[in-house]
Amino acid sequence: MQAKVSVCGSAAFWATLVLYGFSSTEPAQAAPFAYVANTDSNTVSVIDTATNAVAATIRVGKAPVAVAVCPDGTRVYVANQNDHTLSVIDTAANKTMATIPAGRFPVGVAVTPDGARVYVANFSIASQTVTVIDTAAKSLTATISVGTSPNGVAVAPDGEHAFVANAVSNTVSQIATPSNTVVGTAGVGKSPLAVAVTPDGKHVYVANAASDTVEVIDTAANSVRDAVRAGRRPVALVIMPDGDHVYVVNEFSNTVRSSPRRPTPSRARSRSARNPWASP
């Protein structure tokens, strides 16, 4: 089985890995752990990154494909594609504490900076929605219509907007989180699968799998300002906490490309295993 690596969750039919320990809000008592969604076994593995040993295995819903960790590290949210639910894991007990109905085929998940809401991208062509979960009430509070086959989702650092990559309609939807309404739609390349927001919130990077490009959206203008040639089939990307570099995973060229955000993206590449799949 292939592994899908993630640092805050996005979508597909592979396992998902989320590392907790990059944020300054990490509890002092919490060691850094990695959370791996095992799609075939309906479990999440908890890995102690200090020892690289599996510390626990947690039963979740059917076909978990995306994972996101809340900012304080106390909860992990898992999108279960085949039973259309979101599992909530208590990281202190390493147990599933709740299961919340989501939309049809949830494949992407992101948590707001205050940990109050979770945005879930539902890949179903029929529904074309993002569902919003209230983490305190553990219930669905809003359903937002977006483009066709929403896949990747990311929340801006200030929590005011969420961005959703719509894989079939070739767009990125911008959602105003206070009202949970779509306030803009930007046309991008073919089959956008992943999005990541810069630390200053001014730009969104989009991985276009069928165009072999990464595009940069100006969030104020809600339009594409630049495009960069990636490897073959870029499926995921992550922006480093200092905002200076973007790492792009290219599935068919078996590479991870590192590009400085400015002035000009480099061509530096790292060879990886065959068919890598990673997302922020």
- pLDDT tens for each residue of 70-86: 999 999 999 999 999 99
Range picked from 1-15, 116-130, 258-272 for highest mean pLDDT: 116-130
Confidence of residue 190 (pLDDT cuts 50, 70, 90): very high
Query: Model confidence over 201-220: pLDDT tens digits?
Result: 999 999 999 999 999 999 99
Residue 31 is predicted with a pLDDT of 54
Domains of the chain, by residue range, sit at: 3-279
Q: Which H or E element spans position 279?
A: strand 277-279
pLDDT higher than 80, residue 261: no
- Name the β-bridge partners of 223: 218
- Chain-wide mean pLDDT for the chain? 84
3-279 has which CATH code? 2.130.10.10
Q: Residues 126, 131, 132, CA angle at the centre, nearest 5°?
A: 170
258 CB-side CA count, 13 A = 9
Other Cβ atoms within 10 Å of 94 Cβ, number:
16
Could you tell me what percent of the chain has a pLDDT over 70? Answer: 81
In whole angstroms, give the CA distance from residue 100 to residue 73.
19
Residue 194 structure tokens: 């992943």
Q: Which residue has the higher pLDDT, 112 or 238?
A: 112
Q: What is the pTM for the complete model shown?
A: 0.84
Strands (E), 83-241: 85-90, 95-101, 106-111, 117-122, 129-134, 139-145, 150-155, 161-166, 171-176, 181-187, 192-197, 203-208, 213-218, 223-229, 234-239
pLDDT higher than 60, residue 28: no
Query: Model confidence over 130-189: pLDDT tens digits?
Result: 999 999 999 999 999 999 999 999 999 999 999 999 999 999 999 999 999 999 999 999
